[in-house]
Amino acid sequence: MAIIIDMPKLSDTMEEGVIAKWNVKEGDKVSSGDIIAEVETDKATMDVEVFDAGTVLKLIASEGDAVPLGGKMAIIGDEGEDISDLLDGDSGGSAKKEKQSEESSKDDQKEEKESSGDKSDEKKDFDPIFGDLDKDKKEAETDSSSDDDDDGRVKASPLARKMAKEQGIKLSQVKGSGPNGRVTKKDIESFDGPEKAEAKPEQPAKQESKKPQPQAESRGTHEDVPVSQMRKAIARRLSESKFTNPHFYETIDIDMKKAIEVRKSLNELSDVKISFNDLVVKACAVALRKHQKINSSWMGDFIRKHHGVHVAVAVAVDEGLVTPVVRNTDQKGLSAIGAEVKELAGKARDKKLQPDEMDGSTFTISNLGMFGIEEFTAIINPPNACILAVGAIRDVPVVEDGQVVPGKRMKVTLSSDHRVVDGASAAEFLSTVRSLLENPMNMLL
Amino acid sequence: MPQLQFREAIREALVEEMRNDDSIVIMGEEVAEYDGAYKVTQGMYEEFGGKRVIDTPISELGFAGIGVGAAMNGLRPIIEFMTFNFAVVGMDQIINNAAKLRYMSGGQVKIPIVFRGPNGAAGQLGATHSVSYESLYAHYPGLKVMYPSEPGDAKGMLKTAIRDDDPVIFLESEQMYGLKGEVPEGEHIIPLGKGKIKREGSDVTIVAHGKIYHVAKKAAEELAKDGIEAEIIDPRTIKPFDMEMVIESVKKTNRLVIVDESHPFCGIASEVGFQIQRDAFDYLDAPILRVCLPDAPAPFAKNLYDYWFPDAKQIIDAVKTVTYSK
């Protein structure tokens, strides 16, 4: 009995997954627990496991394809099994073919063989379904290669299509404003992509002697990079946060002299090297336990005060950033925090973070100190109410007992959602964080 | 230019043509002594007498047939149906004889006849007295179909219909007989198959004929307040249809809404929509939409009737959909 492998829900927020890699090919045997594919979700690249043994009969999606949640990825079953009914609806053409009487499919077979002798040699058991699928695929391929429009599946009004062709615009690069993303006349008229000038590279070359193309020259060249799932998620979530959450910012300057000393002595004992960031994480966790208002979320018609303190740490990766969570941060010691952050950051860079390792934070810390950034503001990571932006520790002259002496200072900026947190509450929290970092022994209490 | 009622404009065409041509006669229920059920033929019995203005019994099949026979024998009859709902009874004469005799006789006979009368729904008259017949007659080869929307057009078109050597279905409306408009005096001819741009606009083309043209006009006025300028084309003649005018307009506006007071399936809107998508496909920026009656007979109850008959809002909605401004 063949089964369909659907796109699984690999993260709470994913709507589609991109097949990053197939680990199997059609005809391969798989057994339960095998990782058959890697799928890029909006959060991470995840493994797709099979729960049944069998033979891979059909890979419906190709590498690079975006498959909607629940969409068909592959079919697994017994070797040689008829899976035409499972493909029903997936490809209208093949489904119809299957419904024809046996006789007509035999005729098809004959025709197919006659028309392409080399093809029939390739296939010992001719299958009208797959035969046609392949044919469709090949036709589509030749279509797209011969078609300079390169707009096979773009929805566009007939007029927009004609205008795009006349103006050498690639329809696939025009964002459609009509129903279902239909590209309309207006979209073509307002399209300002430099593609317009570049679309027909041969023509300007020919015309060069006649008249120069100032437009094309002034626009210069560029590269269009497809938007990854992670960038899409960052774009969506942070735009939403920045545009809907009323952010306000408070900056505090912290004397890090004692923290530096404490870290030095701790690192002499600890197996794991404790970073300044770990100290900040710990200080925040302790302060969050004390200031519950900060450890909250805006829920629309109520405010949720979280009982647990789960601090997320922003980690930069190639494609963007992720925010793995150190759970129950306030209950963990510095070396435990240090070890966990290190492990999570490593996983993040290897794209191995699991969605549950990124969910459920109540507060986030973003540290750009290592780049020498003095101070900055961060966008709140929803559903958190606050995010702390941590700057570098600077050597600064400070006044102590009327004397200018060398000092170590670090600026941190708290971005708060004003719907949840008010200025005074944020200030109280920052004040606690400062006193903890200035007297690190208090964190141990 | 004199302001005349729709009925007066029709009468002017009838009288002027009958004065010019003795072979023209008019027949129908109550057309003579009663001066016409809707007073279209008022005074004509007095002027032309009982041999040319003829009252008939309630027998549409009979007098439609007499008309066809008279046309075969050299007269130019005008048959008035009290409404086209009653002409259903005489349809064999219209569709089989009037429409086909010239063709079947190899051109030996011509049938210069006009069948005229009110068409379509006219308020709470019930399901059987509220039917729009233009698409049905336009369906059959051999018939020309006209449905004017304004008095001036009515006069010029009816003169053309009377002078045509083939059968013409000339549709009017009970609700328009009192409508006033400018009507040119004397010789005023509107050629067959010639539409008119009744309102110029650049954002959408609305095709509307007959009575419902006035609903479209109202919708266009409302749309203008939202900055959408609709071009309204009144094709006037349903068959042959001035498709060229619509194509030229769609080339300019890129959008088309067809307003038709008949049912949707196989209606005028279907045919116009088909032809425009075929001939102006590359100029369309949105699917063609139509506003017409639902696929249901006319209800009697006032609230249901108002719901059933298309209003300006439906046209506005359709225009906003095709202009992507919804």
Which DSSP category does A106 fall into?
H
ipTM over 0.85: no
Domain co-membership, A281 together with A163: no
Q: Which residue of A has its CA nearest to B252?
A: A159
Q: What is the CA radius of gyration of chain A?
A: 29
- Higher pLDDT: A180 or B272? It is B272
DSSP string, A282-347: HHHHHHHHH-TTTSEEE-SSSEEEPSS--EEE-EEETTEEE--EETTGGGS-HHHHHHHHHHHHHH
User: For tokens 């018939």, what's the residue?
Assistant: B143
Angle CA B289–B297–B180, to nearest 5: 70
CA–CA distance, A181 with A172 (Å, rounded to integer):
11
> A371-390: per-residue pLDDT in tens?
999 999 999 998 999 999 99
Test mutation, B249, B288, B324, chain A, max A CBs within 10 A: B324
Domain co-membership, A292 together with A210: no
What is the predicted pLDDT for the residue at B72? 97
Cβ neighbour number for residue A239 with a 10 Å cutoff: 11
Among A167, A199, A219, residue at a domain's last position: A219
DSSP string, B128-139: GG----HHHHHH
The reply to whether A70 falls in a domain is yes
**Segments making up each domain of chain B, as ranges:** 3-182, 196-322
What is the predicted pLDDT for the residue at A110? 46
Domain co-membership, A261 together with A397: yes
Q: Could A159 and B283 be called an inter-chain contact, meaning their C-beta atoms sit closer than 8 Å?
A: yes
Instruction: Give residue A65's pLDDT band: very low, low, confident or very high (50, 70, 90).
Output: confident
What is the predicted pLDDT for the residue at A152? 53
The whole-chain average pLDDT of chain B stands at 96
The reply to whether A151 falls in a domain is no
What is the number of structural domains in chain A? 3
What is the predicted pLDDT for the residue at A100? 42
The pair of structure tokens assigned to A176 is 């459609």
Domain co-membership, A207 together with A84: no
Domain co-membership, A269 together with A398: yes
Domain co-membership, A266 together with A360: yes
CB B275 within 8 A of CB B245: no
What is the predicted pLDDT for the residue at A90? 47
B137-156 b/e (C-beta count within 10 Å ≥ 16 → b): bbebebbbbbbbbbbbbbbb
The whole-chain average pLDDT of chain A stands at 80
Contacts (Cβ under 8 Å, ≥6 apart) of B317 = B326
pLDDT at A205 over 70: no
pLDDT at A289 over 70: yes
A114-129 b/e (C-beta count within 10 Å ≥ 16 → b): eeeeeebeeeeebbbb
pLDDT at A327 over 70: yes
CATH code for the domain of A102: 2.40.50.100
Task: Provide, as residue numbers in chain B, all residues whose Cβ is less than 8 Å from the Cβ of A160.
Answer: 285
Q: What share of chain A is helix, strand, coil (3-state, %, to 5)?
A: 40, 25, 35
A366-389 b/e (C-beta count within 10 Å ≥ 16 → b): bbbbeeeeebbebbbbbbbbbbbb
CA–CA distance, A232 with A39 (Å, rounded to integer):
15
Domain co-membership, A214 together with A248: no
Among A123, A146, A169, residue at a domain's last position: A146
Task: Provide, as residue numbers in chain B, all residues whose Cβ is less than 8 Å from the Cβ of A158.
Answer: 281-285
Test mutation, B285, B323, B324, B326, chain A, max A CBs within 10 A: B285
Among A219, A253, A271, residue at a domain's last position: A219
The reply to whether A355 falls in a domain is yes
The distance between the two most distant Cα atoms of chain B, rounded to a whole number of Å, is 60
CATH code for the domain of A165: 4.10.320.10
What is the predicted pLDDT for the residue at A107? 47
Q: Could B324 and A186 be called an inter-chain contact, meaning their C-beta atoms sit closer than 8 Å?
A: yes
Q: Which segment, A132-146, A226-240, A270-284, B14-28, is predicted with the most confidence on average?
A: B14-28
Q: Could A184 and B283 be called an inter-chain contact, meaning their C-beta atoms sit closer than 8 Å?
A: no
Q: Could B284 and A159 be called an inter-chain contact, meaning their C-beta atoms sit closer than 8 Å?
A: yes
Q: Nearest 5°: phi and psi at B21?
A: -140, 110
Q: Nearest 5°: phi and psi at A296?
A: -135, 175
Task: Provide, as residue numbers in chain B, all residues whose Cβ is less than 8 Å from the Cβ of A162.
Answer: 282-283
The reply to whether A153 falls in a domain is no
CB B230 within 8 A of CB B204: yes
Q: Is the four-CA dihedral A218, A221, A227, A233 of positive or negative sign?
A: negative
CA–CA distance, B214 with B218 (Å, rounded to integer):
6
Task: Provide, as residue numbers in chain A, all residues whose Cβ is less than 8 Å from the Cβ of B282.
Answer: 158-159, 161-162
Residue A86 sits at the chain B interface (C-beta within 8 Å): no
Domain co-membership, A123 together with A242: no
Residues of B forming the active site: 60, 129
Residue B284 sits at the chain A interface (C-beta within 8 Å): yes
Q: Is the four-CA dihedral B94, B96, B102, B108 of positive or negative sign?
A: negative
B194 to B158, B181, B238, B261: CA distances (angstroms): 13, 19, 9, 20
**Domain coverage including residue A243:** 229-444
Residue B323 sits at the chain A interface (C-beta within 8 Å): no
What is the predicted pLDDT for the residue at A413? 96
CA–CA distance, A190 with B175 (Å, rounded to integer):
47
Helices (H), A61-101: 84-87, 92-99
CA–CA distance, B157 with B163 (Å, rounded to integer):
10
Least confident of A68-77, B169-178, B317-326: A68-77
Q: Is B117 helix (H, G, I), strand (E, B) or coil?
A: strand
Domain co-membership, A373 together with A243: yes
For residue A279, give the nearest of A250, A261, A259, A306 by alpha carbon.
A259
What is the predicted pLDDT for the residue at B177? 96
Cβ-count burial of A257 within 10 angstroms (0-12 exposed, 13-18 middle, 19+ buried)?
A: middle
> B246-292: per-residue pLDDT in tens?
999 999 999 999 999 999 999 999 999 999 999 999 999 999 999 99
Domain co-membership, A170 together with A254: no
Q: Which residue of A has its CA nearest to B325?
A: A178
CATH code for the domain of A416: 3.30.559.10
Q: Classify domain B196-322 by CATH architecture.
A: 3-Layer(aba) Sandwich (3.40)
Instruction: Give residue A89's pLDDT band: very low, low, confident or very high (50, 70, 90).
Output: low
> A149-160: per-residue pLDDT in tens?
444 578 899 999
B194-207 b/e (C-beta count within 10 Å ≥ 16 → b): bbbebbebebbbbb
CA distance to partner chain A, nearest, from residue B237 (Å): 29
- Higher pLDDT: A95 or B158? It is B158
The reply to whether A105 falls in a domain is yes
CB B184 within 8 A of CB B9: no
Task: Provide, as residue numbers in chain A, all residues whose Cβ is less than 8 Å from the Cβ of B284.
Answer: 157-159
Beta bridge partners of A364: A312, A387
Domain co-membership, A193 together with A272: no
What kind of fold does domain B3-182 have according to CATH? Rossmann fold (3.40.50)
- Higher pLDDT: A223 or B188? It is B188
Domain co-membership, A102 together with A171: no
